[in-house]
Structure 1
Amino acid sequence: MLKQLKTHITNQLDFLNEGKLLIAISGGIDSVVLTHLCHELNLKMSLAHCNFNLRAKESDADEDLVLELAEDLDLEVFIESFDTENYAKEHKLSIQMAARELRYSWFLELSEQLQFDYILTAHHADDNLETFLINFTRGTGLDGLTGIPEVNGKFVRPLLPFSSEEISEFAKVNHIKWRDDSSNKSVKYLRNKLRHEVIPILKEINPSLLQSFQSTLNNLNDTADIVEESTNAVLKKAIETMDNDHISFKISEFKKLNNPKAYLFEVFKDYGFTEWNDILDLLDAETGKQVFSQTHRLIKNRDHLLLSDINEELSETIKISEEEKQVETPFGTLFFDEADALFGKRTNVIFVDKKELKFPLAIRKYEEGDVFYPLGMSGKKKVSKYFKDEKLSLLDKENTWLLCSGSDIVWVINRRADNRFRVTENTKQILKIELK
């Protein structure tokens, strides 16, 4: 196995030979064997062990074994103790998900602080099969059936080509000591149920199950490449604009497709959406219709779909005193300067009669019933009617702020000034207000 791993690293993961590595070690057979193999290959490495304090004395015994192994191999080791149960309660997670979040977060933190190039985990071929079956039984797209990636950012899994039987045989032949996690025997967890009850039957039906499974994974990954290439070609035509607030997609490009629902899934699956029929219905919905995930939303706006984050930012009022010359806002910086004359014509700059202003000024979001007197027009207009006439999307409306003097609107910022504060021949003091 050592020779096979060396060949695999040379052919597929040669960057590990020069990298500074952090090995995630639980004390179980897989991670202990990975540690011994990497040590035999003279890789530059340290160990990181999480004590989740879930199995009382067993957890402490796991930690002791890791410390003993680090001393025997003369390796640097990092130990972190977690209150996993409380973390799970506070974040409303299962114990398994809480432990996963805690360990991966800590591994990344260690790698950043101590400049480890890669984090190695001991996932193997049987883990890959279990993950495939879990995703399959719960329902998934193609991505859920393409297996655990061997390299995913900083995380590398060099044992993926090897079976649990090969790892176990290596441990026994080399008289390696490890710890068995008693919780791995409990079939109340889906992964363990598949491991102990389902996969043995599949291996009995097909003794070459892992080899057949790897062939299936290779085919699925080839198909995934084709899907990605096709989706990227659609995106190249469909994306019209992209900025910090949203991405705008042309609906017409999706309607041209034979199966728009499949492409909508591929485009928006990474944003947490699950209601794919609702997203398909957006193509023919009225303007303003929305579909939400926990983190994002899709909005129908005339001929476009707008994708944006769900913004939890408070729309609190910002006060501006007469003495302030520069004010930071959620949408940019406002500058206040006295001017001798009007010059230029830009939407991000207005000139007002300072005498007409009542300080402190206020910056706030639009409220139902707001009216202003658009510069260049006679009479007043509801801000909502102005938005409609300007054909602003729901996102544009939500991201529009108002500069106010008392209860009066001075400026629909970056769009239209109010006529009541315009500079006239009687103006004695001109104030220039600019958004940058």
Structure 2
Amino acid sequence: MKNLKPENKSLLQEFKNHIANRLPFLKESRILIACSGGLDSIVLTELCDLLKLDFGIAHCNFGLRGDESDEDEKFVKSIAESVGALFLKTHFETEKYAKDHQLSIQMAARELRYNWFKDLAIEFQYDYVLTAHHSDDNLETFLINLSRGTGLEGLTGIPEVNEIFVRPLLPFSREEILNFANKQKLKWREDSSNKSTKYLRNKIRHDVIPELKGITPQFLNNFNTTLEYLQQSSQFIKSQLFRLKKDLFEPSEIDIVKISITKLREYGNPRICLYFLLKDYGFKAWNDVEQIVTAQSGKQVFSETHRLVKDREYLLLSPIVEEISDRNYKIPEEESMIMIPSGTLKFKEVAEIGPTDFKTIFVDKEKLKYPLIVRKWKEGDYFYPLGMTGKKKLSKFFKDEKLSLLAKERVWLLCSGKEIIWIINYRADNRFKITPQTKQILKITIT
């Protein structure tokens, strides 16, 4: 690295002010600079060196350009040596990783390097990882996301701070960075693949952005102003989303969220509300999500991790769980505890009846036929509700109890032969109740 040229004091001062005003924590932190050897990361390294920040340098060799990639590595190593920084490197089989994980080369490289940076931060106790994204990168990302029809989050730009990753060059343009490098007589490596327009980002960089800047010389400044407004709007929406969830999300059974359709309609635009409520749960088929509001009960929409079910005047949101409807559990007489999907069943002989609730029942052990069986309920099942005369179909019992569709799916039965002892977590059967003739009392609990 060189001594600072007088004409470059303004950019350095702006960078210094930006660190002091927006990123003061970097001055007291151990930081790792992600350095490819290109213009942007070399300038970032120079600026951090001039500010005497405590940093190391990390370089990824993706093995995509043969000798050129190896020369990049040697160059970055020489830069690290010149500033006295720890040099960390790695080699990736990027093409193989992309093929194995069905990713584009660019996405594979991104995933590989960010995972590696996180590992380095832990291993070498770095507080933050700095990348050299700048204002033009922000514009490129905005246009890419705009072309893909992304939501507001995709139009708010690259985050300046995201977990351990910090991008201190975001306020500066590529032109400012290039001018600084030339006046400082810095050397850097040119990635030949950046010239190819077969990648969308490069096509936007070389063909689209120059046209936009040619039409309006202040285009980048105007874009940054717009981006700031969008970020402020996003923050406001996030603050309102908390209130929206508080109003519309109702507590229900374990891991099920109920959304009142009546309240949802009061907001005037269910589609927009559902987008903000459900986007973090992986939903993307927004036409289907909107239509479920007026669909018949039982209609479902799935994301990769969750499902949304229409149940009368509610939408039920829950994680997708493994299908286990045909699984049975046999419990021999000597067993005192067994784990089932809804919890742990415990069996204990006691001398007298204690308090009962929906998690605890007492039965006459002599009336049981072993092995006991735990199974899911099925259509046609019936039982004799404790405290009532006569039998009742489980489907009618669930309706009377106002169980949701998802709650019914999670119901397990404890059975003696073909007879139901207990609708676990709900109601015991009258046929196994304690009577004056009972000699052995069995306490059964679910936790």
Please confirm whether the aligned pair reaches a TM-score higher than 0.5, indicating the same fold.
yes
> How do residues 172-251 of structure 1 correspond to structure 2 at under 5 angstroms?
172-241=182-251, 245-251=255-261
Identity %: 56
Residue 164 of structure 1 is matched in structure 2 by 174
Shift of 1:319: 4.3
Which of 394, 415, 418 is equivalent to 2:426?
415
State the secondary structure of the residue aligned to 1:240.
strand
State the secondary structure of the residue aligned to 1:64.
helix
CA contact (8 A) 2:253 2:407 kept: no
How many correspondences in the alignment? 436
Q: In 2, distance between residues paired with 1:389 and 1:410?
A: 19
1:341-375 CA distance string (max 9 Å, x none): 11212000011223343444443333444444433
Which of 307, 331, 344 is equivalent to 2:342?
331
Shift of 1:125: 0.3
Q: In 2, distance between residues paired with 1:19 and 1:242?
A: 45
Structure 1: 5+ residue stretches without partners: none
1:293-327 CA distance string (max 9 Å, x none): 22222222222222222223656444444444333
Q: State the Cα RMSD in Å.
A: 2.4
Q: In 2, distance between residues paired with 1:235 and 1:296?
A: 17
C-alpha spacing 1:47/1:371, structure 2 compared with 1 (3 Å): farther
Shift of 1:104: 2.0
Shift of 1:130: 0.4
Shift of 1:95: 1.9
CA contact (8 A) 1:52 1:99 kept: yes
C-alpha spacing 1:108/1:332, structure 2 compared with 1 (3 Å): farther
Q: In 2, distance between residues paired with 1:325 and 1:112?
A: 45
Opposite residue 336 of structure 2, the aligned amino acid is K
Residue 142 of structure 1 is matched in structure 2 by 152
Residue 154 of structure 1 is matched in structure 2 by 164
1:269 and 2:301 aligned: no
1:142-167 CA distance string (max 9 Å, x none): 22211111112222111100111222
Which has the larger displacement, 182-191 or 328-337? 328-337
Structure 2: 5+ residue stretches without partners: 1-10
C-alpha spacing 1:410/1:149, structure 2 compared with 1 (3 Å): same
C-alpha spacing 1:75/1:342, structure 2 compared with 1 (3 Å): same
C-alpha spacing 1:414/1:113, structure 2 compared with 1 (3 Å): farther
TM-score (norm 1): 0.91
Which of 400, 416, 429 is equivalent to 2:411?
400
Shift of 1:8: 0.1
Q: In 1, distance between residues paired with 2:107 and 2:157?
A: 19
Which has the larger displacement, 365-374 or 250-259? 365-374
Residue 368 of structure 2 is matched in structure 1 by 357
1:14 and 2:24 aligned: yes
> How do residues 53-202 of structure 1 correspond to structure 2 at under 5 angstroms?
53-202=63-212
C-alpha spacing 1:166/1:350, structure 2 compared with 1 (3 Å): same
Q: In 1, distance between residues paired with 2:60 and 2:268?
A: 50
Residue 384 of structure 1 is matched in structure 2 by 395
State the secondary structure of the residue aligned to 2:159.
coil
C-alpha spacing 1:434/1:171, structure 2 compared with 1 (3 Å): same
Residue 294 of structure 2 is matched in structure 1 by 284
Shift of 1:52: 2.5
C-alpha spacing 1:99/1:321, structure 2 compared with 1 (3 Å): farther
Shift of 1:25: 2.2
Opposite residue 375 of structure 1, the aligned amino acid is L
> How do residues 33-44 of structure 1 correspond to structure 2 at under 5 angstroms?
33-44=43-54
CA contact (8 A) 2:39 2:189 kept: yes
Q: In 2, distance between residues paired with 1:384 and 1:2?
A: 73
1:255 and 2:265 aligned: yes
Opposite residue 16 of structure 1, the aligned amino acid is L
C-alpha spacing 1:242/1:408, structure 2 compared with 1 (3 Å): closer
CA contact (8 A) 1:241 1:249 kept: no
1:215-259 CA distance string (max 9 Å, x none): 111222233234334443333321222775122222222211232
Residue 305 of structure 1 is matched in structure 2 by 315
Q: In 2, distance between residues paired with 1:77 and 1:322?
A: 65
1:380-414 CA distance string (max 9 Å, x none): 44433432332211221222222334444332211
Q: In 2, distance between residues paired with 1:196 and 1:249?
A: 47
